[in-house]
Amino acid sequence: MLSRFLLVFLLVCAVASEPGLQAADEKVPNLRLTLPAEMYAVVGVEMNVYFDNVVLTQTPEKFSFEFVCDVGRVEAQRWRCLPEARDVGRHKLTVTVRSSDGQEIAQKATTLNVLPANAGASRQVKILIVGDSLTHATAWPNEVARLLGKDANPKWRMLGTHRPSSAAAGVAHEGYGGWTWQRFVSKYEPEPDGTHRKRSSPFVFLGENEKPKLDVARYFDEHFEGERPDVVFFLLGINDCFGANPDDPKAIDARVDLMMHQADLLLTNFHKAAPSADLAICVTTPPNAREAGFEANYKGRYHRWGWKRIQHRLVERLLSKFERRSNGAGDDADHFFVVPTHLNLDAVDGYPENNGVHPNGFGYRQVGASVYSWLKWRLN
């Protein structure tokens, strides 16, 4: 079968020059290939790399994508892998992007970690999920729970105070529509009304001086009798950066800088409160490939290409910061991880036609599969 040999796939198309994408050599577009150092898959669970999600261009179809790996296969818009038991192990995957005349524009390699279906089966794991509206929808936490509910999986429990009506049995989280890293750090509502719309951050309490204080330890002590999670997933970033000026790279970086500062405050407090927990930062997901989804939501105020440029820079910054931190020195080096949730989300079939940033059921399941695959790797 082709999946057992080196795969070379070329989509030969004309390359169009795109404003804002020119490298030092103006004839060569800078596609800013964003491939993480590691990616993850589990036997029997589909995993993909969609071309559009890893390059910065409005026309990915006008470039050639070459994948070299000893597992998986290439299709029209993606590299697809449905691992079998014989594929368990580490595999080098190299992506090369070329122009129609064969000129190499970008190349990067990653390591694909394929896990057995029974990885971590003897373990027990407590999970906390923190996020915005993508988590509030509860579809991807439900998918993680469904996959964990299969045979040969660890015993699991989800911590969290938010259990929407859409939550499956055992599913809970701290996911709220419109929330940011900063809201989780500092939001205090003196007169909550019992709904998610008017409430304090679950991690913010009045301190001894009657001023709001970030206190993750108190959250665990008061809500879970002192229990601590083994893994905390964070999927945030859209609301933090969406309003940046996409035509101003410095403005984008300034907005990301502010977000990173708030992220550091929350993550530091989590690490202090639960020093043994793994803190897994999920990469902010790509937008709907259709401009119509943005028009339906924002009526011309925000556009797909604008958010794509911001989101792509955010992906670059997240990978740079947290991959370095997870591999760096210090007592916390073994507790920070990146989950590449930006790879395995179909920007066409994974979105409804009328929404720019919120996937449909299929897309949410793809996000859940990425989180589940990373978790199986960590438990293995």
Do 16 and 62 meet the contact criterion of CB atoms below 8 Å apart? Answer: yes
Both 343 and 204 in one domain: the answer is yes
| Residues 102-136 pLDDT 10s | 999 999 999 999 999 999 999 999 999 999 999 99
Q: Which of 115, 136, 156 is where one domain is finished?
A: 115
Both 92 and 191 in one domain: the answer is no
DSSP string, 13-82: -PPPP-TT-B-SSTTSB-------SEEEEETTS-EEEEGGGTS--S-GGGSEEEEE-SS-EE-SSEEEE-
Residue 30 burial by Cβ neighbours in a 10 Å radius (0-12, 13-18, 19+): middle
CATH code, domain carrying 45: 2.60.40
Residue-level pLDDT at 195: 83
Residue 288 burial by Cβ neighbours in a 10 Å radius (0-12, 13-18, 19+): buried
Both 199 and 217 in one domain: the answer is yes
Which residues have C-beta within 8 Å of that of residue 240, sequence separation ≥ 6?
A: 180, 181, 182, 255, 258, 259, 262
Both 19 and 160 in one domain: the answer is no
Both 14 and 159 in one domain: the answer is no
For 36, the domain range is: 2-115
Both 130 and 51 in one domain: the answer is no
For the four alpha carbons of 61, 62, 63 and 68, in that order, the dihedral sign comes to positive
Both 53 and 181 in one domain: the answer is no
Do 154 and 141 meet the contact criterion of CB atoms below 8 Å apart? Answer: no
Side-chain-side CA neighbours of 176 within 13 Å: the count stands at 19
CATH code, domain carrying 198: 3.40.50.1110
Rounded distance between C-alpha atoms, residue 94 and residue 342, angstroms: 17
Residue-level pLDDT at 24: 40
Residue-level pLDDT at 7: 42
Place of tokens 């395995």: 344
Both 187 and 300 in one domain: the answer is yes
Both 105 and 143 in one domain: the answer is no
Both 349 and 231 in one domain: the answer is yes
Residue 169 burial by Cβ neighbours in a 10 Å radius (0-12, 13-18, 19+): exposed
Give the pLDDT means over successive 10-residue stretches in the chain (380 positions).
39 37 57 97 98 96 95 96 98 95 95 98 97 98 98 97 97 97 97 87 94 97 97 98 98 98 98 97 98 98 98 98 67 82 98 98 98 97
| Max CA pair span of the chain | 68
| Residues 59-107 pLDDT 10s | 999 999 999 999 999 999 999 999 999 999 999 999 999 988 899 999 9
Q: Which of 89, 115, 141 is where one domain is finished?
A: 115
- Domain total in the chain: 2
For residue 85, the Cα-to-chain-centroid distance in whole angstroms is: 26
Residue-level pLDDT at 325: 62
Q: Which of 83, 115, 147 is where one domain is finished?
A: 115
Which residues have C-beta within 8 Å of that of residue 335, sequence separation ≥ 6?
A: 271, 275, 276, 277, 278, 279
Both 181 and 312 in one domain: the answer is yes
> Smallest Cα–Cα separation from 315: which of 337, 282, 288?
282
Both 111 and 128 in one domain: the answer is no
Rounded distance between C-alpha atoms, residue 9 and residue 154, angstroms: 38
